[in-house]
Amino acid sequence: MPAPKRLKANLYVKHIPPGVYRLQHYWGILVHHLAYYSSFDRISFWKGIFAGLLRAPLNAGSIFVTGLLVDSIVDYYQNPTHLYAVGIQIPIPVLYLILLFVMARSVRILDAIYTIATLKIRNEAFVRYRQDVAEKFHKLNSQEIDREQVKDLITKIESFWLTNSGNFYQRLAGVGEFMLAIIIALAALYASSPVIALLVLLVPVSEIVVVYKNFRKHAHYVDDIAPLMLERNYYFSALTDARTFPERKVNGVFKSLIERFRHVADLVSEGYKRVLSKAEKETASRNIFDHAALLILKVYVLLSSIADRVAIGKITATLGYVDSLYRNSYALQKNIISMFDELTFIEYLYEFQDIKGFADERKKGRHLKKGSPRIALEHAMFAYPDSGKKILDDVSLEITPGERVMILGKDGSGKSSLLALLAGMYELSGGVIKMNGLQVSRLARGQIKAKMSIVPEDFARYYMTLKENILLGDPRKEFSESLYKKALSITGLDIWAKENNIDPEITILGNYFNNSVSISSGHWQRIAIARAIYRNRDVFLLDQPFTYIDGHSVEEMLPKLLAFIGKRTLIWISEHTYHAKFMTKIYDLEKMKLVERKVRSESTKALSTKAPKALKQESIRARKIEG
CA–CA distance, 463 with 450 (Å, rounded to integer): 25
First to last CA, the chain: 49
Name the DSSP letter for residue 242. G
DSSP string, 585-623: EEEEEETTEEEEPP--HHHHHIIIIIHHHHHHHHHHHHH
CA–CA distance, 557 with 113 (Å, rounded to integer): 62
User: What SS3 class is residue 303?
Assistant: helix
Q: Do 224 and 492 meet the contact criterion of CB atoms below 8 Å apart? A: no
- Given this model, what pLDDT does residue 251 score? 75
Domains and CATH numbers, the chain: 18-353 (1.20.1560.10), 401-414+451-626 (3.40.50.300)
Q: What are residue 454's DSSP bridge partners?
A: 541
- Given this model, what pLDDT does residue 411 score? 87
- Which parts of 365-506 are beta strand (E)? 375-383, 390-399, 404-408, 430-435, 438-439, 452-455
Q: Do 329 and 172 meet the contact criterion of CB atoms below 8 Å apart? A: no
Q: Do 377 and 396 meet the contact criterion of CB atoms below 8 Å apart? A: yes
pTM of the model: 0.76
Q: What is the dihedral of CA 463, 464, 465, 470, to 10 degrees?
A: -100
DSSP string, 516-554: -B---HHHHHHHHHHHHHHH--SEEEEESTTTTS-HHHH
- Given this model, what pLDDT does residue 623 score? 40
Using left for φ > 0, alpha for ψ between -120 and 50, and beta otherwise, residue 334 falls in: alpha
CA–CA distance, 604 with 580 (Å, rounded to integer): 11
Question: Would you say the C-alpha torsion 368, 372, 374, 379 has a positive or negative sign?
Answer: positive
User: What SS3 class is residue 361?
Assistant: coil
Q: Do 393 and 559 meet the contact criterion of CB atoms below 8 Å apart? A: no
Closest by CA position to 188, among listed 58, 54, 64, 56: 64
User: What SS3 class is residue 399?
Assistant: strand
Q: Do 577 and 408 meet the contact criterion of CB atoms below 8 Å apart? A: yes
Residue spans of the chain under pLDDT 70: 1-23, 361-363, 598-627
CA–CA distance, 354 with 356 (Å, rounded to integer): 6
Quickly list H helices, 157-252.
Answer: 162-190, 194-202, 205-239, 245-250
Supply φ then ψ for residue 307, to 5 degrees: -60, -35
CA–CA distance, 111 with 56 (Å, rounded to integer): 12
Q: Do 136 and 348 meet the contact criterion of CB atoms below 8 Å apart? A: no
Number of Cβ atoms within 10 Å of the Cβ of 576: 9
Quickly list H helices, 354-509.
Answer: 415-422, 466-471, 481-491, 493-499
Quickly list H helices, 432-550.
Answer: 466-471, 481-491, 493-499, 521-535
